[in-house]
Amino acid sequence: MAIRVTDKAKKELADLQIGGRKFLRIRVMPGGCSGMTYSAAVDSTLREGDQTLLQDGDLRIVADRGSALYLDGLEIDYSDDLVRSGFRFSNPNAVHSCGCGASFKTT
């Protein structure tokens, strides 16, 4: 399982004080106009079946088994543009995404 986090996203995650016991949890859930959507939150409790997708120094990204199936090759970036700033997820497994980019479809 390989995911990539850009330097800009790493800086923003560090600003959110992710590190040590705190990690970023990513979930893939049904929703959005294309079928699936991402959820990301700061967490400090590992659950049974969790998988570490990335360990880079103090930065750790974790997902449950079901979500991890959709995240191989994921790139996390951060945009600070005026219109739509925030974290951006680019998933090579997505065959379709909605116009706003908030949801995706894999098959």
**Mean pLDDT on 2-7:** 93
CA angle 101, 51, 105 (to 5 degrees): 25
pTM: 0.82
CA angle 104, 54, 77 (to 5 degrees): 50
Domains along the chain with CATH numbers: 4-105 (2.60.300.12)
Instruction: Label residue 95 by pLDDT band (50, 70, 90).
Output: low
Q: 71: which strand partners?
A: none
Instruction: Label residue 33 by pLDDT band (50, 70, 90).
Output: low
**Mean pLDDT on 42-65:** 95
Strand pairing category for 59-63 and 51-56: antiparallel
Name which of 72, 75, 77, 64 is nearest 106 in CA terms: 72
